[in-house]
Chain A
Amino acid sequence: MNVDTDLSEGSAGALFAVLADRNRRRIIERIVDEGPATATALSRELGITRQGVAKHLGGMAEAGVLASTRTGAEVHYRLVPGALEPGTEWLTRVGREWDLRLDALKRHVDG
């Protein structure tokens, strides 16, 4: 999925496009769960290339979902309050719940 075309600024569709990509969901979930993060930390923790993370962060910042703060040499990305409300917040939460349940299903059936 191309970040440049999907996350056009200020459209409602951009919010859904943000969560249509698995790596963007993981980035958002990480920031929702543990607070602001740098591209380097996200890349390391999520196992996504630094370049890939930077591209997603840039796209989501343009879409108004994330905001950045520079502290010295570090740029921290945080969630813009309300940006993912209300439908997408539901998608994030329910999606995470089903990820866990389906993993448990696989362990139960295949294990």
Chain B
Amino acid sequence: MDAENSTYGNGSEESDERPVELSREIELDSGPEEAWRALSEEDGLAAWLGEDVEADLEPGGAIRVRDGDGTELDGFIEAIEPERNLTFWWSARGEESSRVVLELEPAVAGGCVVRVTETRPLRALERELAEITGMFALP
């Protein structure tokens, strides 16, 4: 990630950085093949990711999601690996981009697990950590 021009943090890899990372998972009774259709097709995504989804599902392709509350999230596809993962970046207007990784794993009894991890770019993370640690005056 591009840390150039960053005025926050000391740049040390070893510092006590707590990544701002959100992770959730859900177990599906359906197998990876069925679940993948809901991740890899525009209509499939539109059924659950937002009210309205436009996506060009290939690396570099654009993705636009309109959320239930009217928020529009714009971004692009980073990677797509059949029945394994879909990775994209998105952001609401004027907000920091975040990276979303949706992973698919086969589970016992023919089902599968869908795991989502959403993280924010390094620069925002550094700024937030500075604010949090500053607020609490950690040594």
Contacts and interface: CB of A to CB of B under 8 A. Distances in A.
A86 interface: yes
A94 to B, nearest CB: 5
Interface residues of B, number: 33
Nearest to A10: B136
B30 interface: yes
A101 to B, nearest CB: 6
B34 A109 contact: yes
A106 B28 contact: yes
Interface in A88-111: 90-91, 94-95, 97-110
B93 interface: no
Q: In this complex, which of A16, A91, A100, A108 has the most chain B Cβ atoms within 10 angstroms of its Cβ?
A: A108
B130 to A, nearest CB: 11
A109 B28 contact: yes
Given A106-B28, A108-B48, A16 B18 contact: yes
Interface of B: 18, 20, 22, 24-26, 28-30, 34-35, 38, 44, 47-50, 67-68, 98, 114, 116, 118, 120, 125, 128-129, 131-133, 135-136, 138
Interface of A: 10-13, 15-16, 82, 85-87, 90-91, 94-95, 97-110
25 contacts: A11-B138, A12-B129, A12-B132, A12-B136, A13-B18, A87-B132, A90-B22, A90-B120, A91-B20, A94-B22, A94-B98, A98-B22, A98-B116, A99-B24, A102-B24, A103-B26, A105-B26, A105-B35, A105-B47, A105-B48, A105-B49, A106-B28, A108-B48, A109-B34, A110-B28
